[in-house]
Chain A
Amino acid sequence: MRHSPARVAGEVGREALILGKIVLVTGVARGLPGRFVRRMLREPDVDRVIGVDAVEPEHELGGAEFVRADIRQPAIGKLLAETGADTVVHMDVNGTPLGSGGGRGTVKETNVIGTMQLLGACQKAPALRRLVIKSSTSVYGGAPRDPAVFSETTPPKSLPSGGFAKDAVEVEGYVRGFARRRPDVAVCVLRFANILGPCADSPLAEYFALPVLPTVIGYDPRLQFVHEDDAVEVLRIAAGEPRRATDNSGTFNIAGDGVLLLSQAARRLGRPTLPLLLPALTWTRSALRFTGITDFSPEQVRLLTHGRVVATRQMRDTLGFHPTYSTAEAFADYVRDRGPGLLPPEALARSVDRLAAMLPTGRGQS
């Protein structure tokens, strides 16, 4: 099916293959896409990497070309036609605005209208062979009536009603439509769990940076993390030719092995938690947003209430990707990076040891 496009498309595609791949990456002003661009430049079969964003990136893009373009404008179609890109990696689907520019409205517009515009351009690009979308596991929502572990085929019991999660659901809907209209393009949707790492500016990373973590009384959500290195690696696999016995078109959950509870994560991070009633948490949220410290969206609150765990069997068996960091290891790396909080676990462990030493029995232990 993939090899039945219009004749022209096939020929241009073959030509591109001979010349080496031309990869177009959106949203490169952010940290993770920037790293991905630098990684793609080292791939032997990649000829050109073009980074696109509406704002100039502050970080280096290596030898990649940067084109300042807003994906919400039709100019993106012209760019796609001029460069003859055969691989598009769409990473401009985000939960938070970049820096201080714009609010939730701008983000939503970039997510939804930007994706529509980009997919429209892709549909008119005969050279296009491969499309990779960075999505999120938040498309599953998260409610008490949902199963404990989501697989790619689990229908969500309650669709996200707003915020980034709803954007991601809509983006995936448009991508499915595109995949139907262009069966010759290999489409890969990667649903990432919370990405942690030095470059990743995920909302959850901002949350863990708070000195005291507000939590919801009576709920201890299960969380999963992906390390940034693994995220870049899986994007590379998805953007390249599939290895033998693997297939990189389809929808895949991407998460590290294992689970951390929020309480557990807070203890490992050494930050005290502040359990609040659900309405109080919403007020805290508004207060934090007002003071400009951070903003965690309603869907963030939902994650911190019900948690979310996904099955990664497809990622291992079909995509052939095995993350190097487990959830706990990715988090440990984040902790090393950020330094301990107000209650460092080492200090707590020491005080327990001291207590043990004071007792006549504890001497033999530890």
Chain B
Amino acid sequence: MADAKVIPFGEEPRSRRRAARRTDRADAAERAGTGRPALKPVPAQREDPPGPVPGTVRPADEGEGARPAAGGWERKLAQGLNFLRRRVTGEYEVDDFGYDAELTEQVLMSLLRPVYEKYFRVEVKGIENIPDTGGALVVSNHSGVLPLDGLMLQVAVHDHHPAERNLRLLGADLVFMLPVVNELARKAGHTLACAEDAQLLLERGEVVGVMPEGFKGLGKPFSQRYKLQRFGRGGFVSTALRARVPIVPCSIVGAEEIYPMVGNARTLARLLGLPYFPVTPTFPLLGPLGAVPLPTKWTIQFGEPIPTDGYSPEAADDPMLMFNLTDQVRETIQHTLYRLLVQRRSVFF
């Protein structure tokens, strides 16, 4: 089953893309230099020097620790104490969905970042396809038994987007039923995958991330890796149409191999009330040690946004259009996955 079915698609014009990205980048640098010089010097810093692979952002080259100022740890300590002071007195803000921006920035992201940078060494492409302002719906494939791909996607958008946008993920109801998990998910800005919440977030101009495959994608056997499952019932398309925001297709390569799921203990899953119970070569066998994911090398590619503002408001109720757009998004993600697989040297490097 290896990667034999990979279909190399017509070499897409890389040179053109590269050129386009360079101008974007120049724009961004210019903006950062002139538009808001005092407040946000960060985007300018984050632009990495023209590296060996133009058009890609290498996580290892950047991050807060890259440029420690003199006495940086002292300032950090003071910041930490200020943070602690706000936390113990409860003087921080959360939004209607329970998103705690400060906790996410200072704690949750710092915990996820080493996994993202050092363990999975995520490479991000096409981040500029997410608009700097206004709502957007990022639609991604879903895989890897545990939804680590969602978390990595959130870090990718947060750390690499010039406007430092925070991705608001839509999670399954199981996430919000589990104690502790639901609390953390809400604080990290996630909410239940339902049309009402998604619409409200998009109307507020947030970037919303959705994985329409759901558990079908997450818990599919290893033999079916990189084969997209059914995209739900296409509800995400009608939500995007109603909110008139672009759909950004996103392909994640590398998450499929973190837990090679060779079996599914259905009876046990039913007993525990879970959608599936994974059996990997290591998992129930080695106990908790088996739950350590394999250190695969990841690539996250954001595709060209699909605009939805050209459709009339009634279009959201047209099932035919819905199916067509759903298929279009699905095909785009699938083709990008195949292309990235062809380019990939190895699963681990």
Contact of B82 among A149, A259, A346, A366 (CB under 8 A): A366
Residue in B81, B180, B183 whose CB lies within 8 Å of A362: B81
Evaluate contact between A261 and B94: CB separation under 8 angstroms: yes
Which of the listed residues B89, B95, B97, B194 has the most CB atoms from chain A within 10 Å of its own CB? B89
Let me know if B280 is at the binding interface, CB within 8 A. no
Which residues of A, 204-219, contact B by the 8 Å Cβ criterion?
Answer: 216-219
A-contact 0/1 string along B170-210, CB 8 Å cutoff: 00010011111111001100011010110010000000000
Contact A348 B89 (CB under 8 A): yes
**Can you list, as one digit per residue, whether each of A24-56 has a CB less than 8 Å from chain B (1) or not (0)?**
000000000000000000000000000000000
Is B92 in contact with chain A by the CB < 8 A criterion?
yes
The answer to whether A361 touches B182, judged by C-beta atoms less than 8 angstroms apart, is: no
A146 surroundings in chain B (CB, below 8 A): 192
Of the stretches B35-43, B72-80, B120-128, B221-229, the one at the interface is B72-80
B94 touches A264 (CB 8 A): yes
Interface contact A259-B88, CB-CB below 8 Å: no
| Option from A144, A218, A352 in Cβ contact (under 8 Å) with B85 | A352
The docked-state distance in angstroms from the alpha carbon of A219 to that of B88 is 18
Other-chain residue from A147, A222, A258, A360 in contact with B196 (beta carbon distance below 8 A):
A147
Are A355 and B177 closer than 8 Å at their CB atoms? no
Proximity string of chain B (235-273) to chain A, C-beta cutoff 8 Å, 1 when within and 0 when not: 000000000000000000000000000000000000000
Taking CB atoms, residues of chain A closer than 8 Å to B74 are 360-361
| Minimum CB distance partner of B73 in chain A | A361
**Interface membership of B290, Cβ < 8 A:** no
Tell me, in angstroms, the Cα distance from A312 to B91 when the chains sit together. 24
Q: Do A361 and B96 form a contact, CB below 8 Å, given A149-B200, A220-B183?
A: no
Judge whether A309 is part of the interface by a CB distance below 8 angstroms: yes
Across the interface, name the chain B residue whose C-beta is closest to A277. Answer: B179
A258 and B96 alpha carbons, distance in the complex (Å):
6
Q: How far is A315 from B204 in the complex, measured between Cα atoms in Å?
A: 18
Give A152 Cβ to nearest chain B Cβ, in Å.
12
Interface contact B89-A349, CB-CB below 8 Å: yes
Chain A 129-153 against B: per-residue CB contact (8 Å), 1 yes, 0 no?
A: 0000000000000001111110100
In the complex, are the beta carbons of A149 and B97 less than 8 A apart? yes
Find A361's partner among B75, B88, B95 (CB 8 Å cutoff).
B75
> Across the two chains, which residue of chain B brings its CB closest to A350?
B85
Q: Does A365 count as interface, using CB distance less than 8 angstroms? A: yes
Q: Taking the complex as formed, is A267 at the interface, i.e. its CB lies under 8 A from any CB of chain B? A: yes
A144 to B91, CA, bound (A): 27
The listed residue (A147, A154, A352, A362) touching B88 by CB distance below 8 A is A352
Chain A positions 347-364 with a Cβ under 8 Å from a chain B Cβ: 348-349, 352-353, 355-356, 359-362, 364
A293→B89 CA distance, assembly (Å):
27
Give B65-113 interface residues, CB cut-off 8 Å to A: 71, 74-75, 77-78, 81-82, 84-85, 87-98, 100
Secondary structure call for the B interface: helix
Given contacts A218-B179, A219-B182, A220-B183, contact A149 B94 (CB under 8 A): no
A67 to B129, CA, bound (A): 69
Query: Taking the complex as formed, is A265 at the interface, i.e. its CB lies under 8 A from any CB of chain B?
Result: yes
Q: Which residue of B lies closest to A220 (CB)?
A: B183
Task: Give Cα A25–Cα B196 distance, bound, in whole angstroms.
Answer: 37
Which chain A residues (122-175) contact chain B, with CB distance < 8 Å?
144-149, 151, 154
Q: B90's contact among A145, A218, A264, by CB below 8 Å, is which?
A: A264
| A contact residues around B85 at 8 Å (CB) | 349, 352-353, 366
Question: In chain A, what residue has the closest Cβ to B177?
Answer: A144
Name B147-191 residues within 8 Å CB distance of A. Answer: 173, 176-183, 186-187, 191
Q: How far is the CB of B288 from chain A (nearest CB, A)?
A: 19
Kindly state whether residue A345 has any CB partner on chain B within 8 Å. Answer: yes
Inter-chain contact B98/A259, CB cutoff 8 Å: yes
Q: Is A21 an interface residue (CB 8 A)?
A: no
B183 and A219 form a contact (CB under 8 A): yes
Q: Which residue of B lies closest to A356 (CB)?
A: B81
Q: Are A268 and B89 in contact (CB under 8 A)?
A: yes
A356:B78 contact, CB within 8 angstroms: yes
Query: Would you call B98 and A267 a contact (CB within 8 A)?
Result: no
Report the bound CA distance from A359 to B192 in whole Å.
43
**Contact, CB under 8 Å: A365 / B179:** no
Residues of A within 8 A of B82 (CB): 365-366
A82 to nearest B CB, angstroms?
47
Docked complex: A249-295 residues within 8 A CB-CB of B: 258-261, 263-268
Q: Are B176 and A144 in contact (CB under 8 A)?
A: yes
A258 to B85, CA, bound (A): 22
Interface contact A145-B173, CB-CB below 8 Å: yes
A232 CA / B96 CA spacing, docked (Å): 24
Contact A261 B194 (CB under 8 A): no
Shortest B121–chain A CB gap in Å is 32
> Chain B, 308-331, contact with A by CB distance < 8 Å: what is the 0/1 string?
000000000000000000000000
* B187:A220 contact, CB within 8 angstroms: yes
Contact residues in B for A154 (Cβ distance below 8 Å): 196
* Assembly CA distance A353 to B192 (angstroms): 39
Inter-subunit contact B173/A362 (CB<8 Å): no
Query: 8 Å CB contacts to B: which residues of A59-106?
Result: none
**A352-B84 in contact given A149-B97, A261-B94, A264-B90 (Cβ < 8 Å):** yes
Residues facing B in A320-363 (CB within 8 A) are 345-346, 348-349, 352-353, 355-356, 359-362
Contacts of B180 in A (CB 8 A): 217-218
Tell me the nearest residue of chain A to B100, going by C-beta.
A261
Do B88 and A349 have beta carbons less than 8 Å apart?
yes
CB nearest neighbor in A for B85: A352
- CB pair A222–B192 under 8 Å, yes or no, is no
Residue contact B81 to A222, C-beta cutoff 8 Å: no
Q: Which residues of A contact B100 (CB under 8 A)?
A: 261
Residues of A with C-beta under 8 A to B191:
147-148
Nearest CB on A from B184, distance (A): 9
When chains A and B are docked, how far (Å) is the Cα of A365 from the Cα of B74? Answer: 11
CA distance A149 to B93 in the complex (A): 17
7 additional A-B pairs beyond A148-B200, A348-B88, beta carbons within 8 Å, are: A144-B182, A145-B176, A148-B97, A218-B181, A267-B88, A356-B78, A359-B81
Q: List 23 A-B contacts (CB under 8 A).
A: A144-B176, A144-B182, A145-B173, A145-B176, A147-B194, A148-B200, A149-B97, A154-B196, A219-B179, A219-B182, A220-B98, A222-B98, A259-B95, A264-B90, A264-B92, A267-B90, A309-B97, A352-B81, A352-B88, A353-B85, A356-B78, A362-B77, A365-B78
The 3 lowest CB-CB distance pairs between A and B, nearest first, are A218-B179, A267-B90, A361-B74
